[in-house]
Amino acid sequence: MATTGGAGRPEKRRAITRAATTVFGREGYVRAGMDAIAAEAGVSKRTVYNHFADKETLFLSVALQSSAELTGRIRALTAEHLDRVTDLRQGLTDFAVERARAVLSAGETGERGAKAHGDHGDHEDYEDHGDHEDYEDHGALDRAIRAEVANIPADVLEAWQEAGPIARRRELARCFEALADRGLLVAEDAALAAERFTLLTFHGIAERSFWGALPVADAEVRRIAAVGVDAFLRIHGTPRPASGG
């Protein structure tokens, strides 16, 4: 396996992966230090090396995990907004907005950009944070992986893609196929339609915010989502029987 062994308390392990997600996401792979990760996790550096063989193993491990979690999060969003949709335009727009928020988290949640945390002082027991379950840092870690793509072993990169972007494309395509079956979309090739939807509603803001590295105004997210859905429906929407006005 990727990990060193089954040693130690699993709570420590979770604290380490959580801290690694945060620090790698904030600093990137090269700049991140194992000392900082250990400190953020509230454990000794030795404990980190007890669970993960080295820095690269730790990074790739959390990368894969985070990628899968983000995919799950987006899957939940499609289920929520599109599975039983009635107002298609509204459902698509809501989904686009929520997905952009999930991936480009920098806007509201994480206070990235303020480099100076100061002395992060004395919150000793971090591990009972684990309640919230989702770290809110998936987007940042995604960015770190993209920055390191050229230095990631081919097989691991493939696994990351399969658990992340590829799975998301496939699942959205399935969703759009269902919408087409219900007569709500016109799409011979559901995968192509899904790809176009993502391009038109997501990549514009992703590009402008550098995949979440810079904060993105919520109004801008909504604007781009609405305009993107508009373009999408002009290609793949069903011709309205009569436009009410």
Q: Name the residues that contact a second copy, by CB under 8 A.
A: 28, 30-31, 112-113, 146-147, 149-150, 165, 192, 195-196, 199-200, 203-204, 207, 210-211, 213-214, 227, 231, 234-235
Picked from a second copy, DNA, none, the partner binding residue 177 (CB below 5 to 8 A depending on kind) is: none
Instruction: Name the residue nearer to DNA (CB basis): 59 or 135.
Output: 59
Stretch that binds DNA, among 1-9, 83-91, 203-211, 237-245 (CB under 7 A): 1-9
106, 216 in Cβ contact below 8 A? yes
How far apart are alpha carbons 13 and 52 in whole angstroms? Answer: 9
Comparing C-alpha atoms, which of 68, 49, 55, 64 is closest to residue 28? 55
Stretch that binds DNA, among 31-39, 171-179, 217-225, 233-241 (CB under 7 A): 31-39
Give the burial class of 10: count Cβ atoms within 10 A of its Cβ; 0-12 exposed, 13-18 middle, 19 or more buried.
exposed
Count, residues near DNA per rule CB under 7 A: 19
Residue 200 structure tokens: 């038109």
47 makes contact with DNA (CB under 7 A): yes
Encode burial over 103-134: b for 16+ CB neighbours within 10 A, e otherwise. bbbbbeebebeeeeeeeeeeeeeebeeeeeee
93 makes contact with DNA (CB under 7 A): no
Picked from a second copy, DNA, none, the partner binding residue 234 (CB below 5 to 8 A depending on kind) is: a second copy
Minimum CB separation from DNA for residue 5, in Å? 9
DSSP state of 5: -
One of 43, 74, 224, 225 touching DNA (CB under 7 A): 43
Picked from DNA, a second copy, none, the partner binding residue 88 (CB below 5 to 8 A depending on kind) is: none
Q: Please, which of residues 52-81 interact with DNA by CB under 7 A?
A: 54-56
- What is the DSSP code string of 76-125? HHHHHHHTT-SSHHHHHHHHHHHHHHHHSTTTTT--TT-------TT---
How far apart are alpha carbons 88 and 81 in whole angstroms? Answer: 9
Minimum CB separation from a second copy for residue 8, in Å? 31
Stretch that binds DNA, among 46-54, 136-144, 159-167, 198-206 (CB under 7 A): 46-54
Residues binding DNA (CB under 7 A) = 7-9, 12, 32-35, 42-47, 49-50, 54-56
